[in-house]
Amino acid sequence: MNRVVHPIEQESYRRLRARLDTSHFPPLTRAVVERVVHSAADLEYASDLVMDEGQLAKAHTALHAGAPVVVDVEMVAAGITRRDTVCRLRDAESGPGLTRSARAIRLAYEQVGPGALWVIGNAPTALEELLTLDAAPALVIGLPVGFVGAVESKAALRESGLPAVSNVSEKGGSAVASAALNALLYHPLSLPDSPDSQSEETS
């Protein structure tokens, strides 16, 4: 079923595209960039985000085939309105060498196993813990925010070789992480030949 887009969102995208040329991005990359920029009203994300179109295409297929979606905090889950998510933070307790967020990632992995999409927008320690597991993810959206550990955890994600969406700076957060996942959810199953053929309904 097609998503109905509110006129305010349509106007927001019109203004975004008037200020930022995204036409050179391939389709899924463009969708992620635009939705993240839209969620934060921050044009700098266009040059801050790091992703690979081929990896996004495989993740897009897995997502629409029903792969589990795991989030690090409820705020990320709240932003993903068209898919049930797994969040084990309420069940987790901190322990020796592990933060509560890291423990929640372990619990989630025990629940979903390999092949999930992981969306981390809050805790660098959650991303760090995920990288220690044999999670074989369909995609890791690693966009934790903060001055301590965020840049380093995202750099480690890129160095890991896992399929990922990340960014270089300290910026990030729950809203932009959920926006990146939503971009894949909203995008049609049959990918257009060029970014220009994307509709407002799937941007």
Catalytic residues: 38
Dihedral sign of CA atoms 51, 53, 59, 63 in order: positive
**Count of H helices and E strands in the chain?**
9, 5
Beta-sheet strands, E only, within 94-196: 117-120, 139-142, 164-167
69: enclosing H helix or E strand:
strand 69-71
Q: What distance in Å separates the CA atoms of residue 169 and residue 70, rounded to the nearest whole number?
A: 23
Q: Residue 199, CB half-sphere, CA atoms under 13 Å: how many?
A: 12
